[in-house]
Copies of this chain bind each other. A is one copy, B any other.
């Protein structure tokens, strides 16, 4: 053990140049713990900011603030002042919190978006990294790895008919490698500014699927995620397009919908899939909900399960052929009796009225769908819940 200790000390002191933080922490001997989830389900956050005059924490675990601006009213995350402990460390302890995955950042003397240097659990949403923590309970456990069989998440590449390669994130369930059977497929689409990493990082798709499949609530299935912005072949930093700061990019020009059959064909060729309508689902959030609506009606024999999460309905330019004649195409889709057409949105979502109009259209025509209305707005908190709800409804008779 002595040799090992000496090695540890030597490593800690002399570390490499890229590991400066560990080294400096050792010398400063701060030992700050943040975030710390307490026994009563409150969280304590701490930040070392020795010369700051004012430190604020902001995050979605605090009551939202309602802000009036030129375009209307917006809900933004709450803020709370942190307390200086006198040793350079600032601290904030929250109220006991409902089970959830929460994100936060600090504001130090007007400098926003300060990340917690003591928290390595960060997720990227579009162009920002957020620290997060999880409060235990039913929802927190659903979003956390449990002691259950785990599926595989692979980042791989598909060759498209135009010769370009396209990055695909593919989840295969735990039993996939041990079995010879074929599996149904859920195509899961992100929103504007997102990419094939969004459902993995912020949507917790791997944890949700592992846990729902292990409990028997969801059927074992493959989940495929690809980039809904056709001009990008991969998430930022993963292609020869270089390193750029992600922005609110997307494809609502028909190009993604046109590409989709080639994506499905690639998946069917490269994985043990059940190549049938009743074993295929498509769902997405916001722009991805728009895509799911458009793709499922454009190829009415492809998907028996459709999920529209806070979908940006009616946002396509009807001068684009693929977005034209919406009603007739919806008629053709519903004439083929999809097994599930599932719509969910939060009461505060800015796309709420679009979804009301769309449901009126479906109601007028007498088409069957399931509608879930939740609290809250256009948030990942809702989309994770929608995914978990939707996944349990899929492929119950597809084996």
- Quickly give the copy total for this chain: 2
Q: Is the CB of B17 within 8 A of A52?
A: no
Interface residues of A in 67-94 (CB under 8 A from B): 69, 71, 74-77, 88
In the docked arrangement, what's the CA distance between A185 and B380, Å? 39
Q: Quick check: A129 and B125 within 8 Å, CB to CB?
A: no
Q: Is A337 an interface residue (CB 8 A)?
A: no
B243 & A126 in contact (Cβ 8 Å cutoff): no
Shortest C-beta distance, A309 to chain B (Å), equals 12
With a cutoff of 8 Å between Cβ atoms, the chain B residues found around residue A24 in the complex are: 76, 112-113
* Residue with the highest number of chain B CB atoms closer than 10 Å, among A13, A16, A113, A234: A16
- What residue in chain B is nearest A156 (Cβ atoms)? B152
The residue that A21 contacts in the complex, of B105, B177, B270, B379, with Cβ under 8 A, is B105
Interface pick from A140-148, A257-265, A294-302, A361-369: A140-148
Is the Cβ of B75 less than 8 Å from the Cβ of A17? Answer: yes
From known contacts A146-B240, A238-B145, infer whether A113 and B120 are also in contact, taking CB-CB under 8 Å: no
The reply to whether A317 and B1 form a contact with Cβ atoms under 8 Å apart is yes
Q: Which residues of B contact A167 (CB under 8 A)?
A: 150
Binary flags per residue of A50-69, CB closer than 8 Å to B gives 1, else 0:
11110000101000100001
Asked if A8 and B248 make an inter-chain contact with CB atoms under 8 angstroms apart, the answer reads: yes
Q: Least Cβ distance of A246 to chain B in Å? A: 6
Complex interface: chain B residues within 8 A of A284 (CB):
none
Q: Mark A9-31, 1 if CB is under 8 A from B, else 0.
A: 11111111111111110011000
Q: Check if A21 sits within 8 Å of B128, measured CB to CB.
A: yes
CB < 8 Å neighbour of A22 from B9, B33, B127, B252: B127
B-facing residues in A175-214 (Cβ within 8 Å): 177, 191-193, 202
Verify if A114 is at the interface (C-beta below 8 Å from B).
yes
A18 in complex: contacting residue of B148, B316, B381, CB < 8 Å: B381
**In the complex, which residues 220-243 of chain A have their Cβ closer than 8 Å to any Cβ of chain B?**
234, 236-240, 242-243
Contact partners of A356 in chain B: CB under 8 A: none
CA distance A236 to B333 in the complex (A): 45
In the assembled complex, the Cα of A8 lies from the Cα of B213 at a distance in Å of 36
The listed residue (B10, B19, B49, B118) touching A245 by CB distance below 8 A is B118
Residues A257-293 near B (CB distance < 8 A) = 270, 286
Binary flags per residue of A103-126, CB closer than 8 Å to B gives 1, else 0: 101001111111101111110111
CB distance from A14 to the nearest CB of B (A): 4
Q: A9 touching B380 by the CB < 8 A rule? A: no
- Chain B residue contacts of A192, Cβ below 8 A: 7-8, 11
Tell me, rounded to whole Å, the shortest Cβ–Cβ distance linking A338 to chain B. 26
B-chain residues with CB within 8 Å of residue A98 when the two chains form the complex: none
In angstroms, Cα B23 to Cα A378, docked, is: 13
Q: Across the interface, do B242 and A144 meet the contact criterion of CB distance under 8 Å?
A: yes
Which residue of the partner chain, among B9, B113, B238, contacts A71 with CB atoms under 8 Å? Answer: B9
Given A150-B167, A377-B17: A110 and B50 within 8 A (CB)?
Answer: yes
Q: Does A334 contact B (CB under 8 A)?
A: no
Between-chain CB contacts (< 8 Å), 9 pairs: A3-B315, A4-B252, A10-B71, A17-B379, A21-B128, A48-B111, A117-B129, A145-B238, A148-B240
6 nearest A-B residue pairs (beta carbon): A16-B379, A113-B117, A21-B128, A154-B154, A51-B109, A152-B156
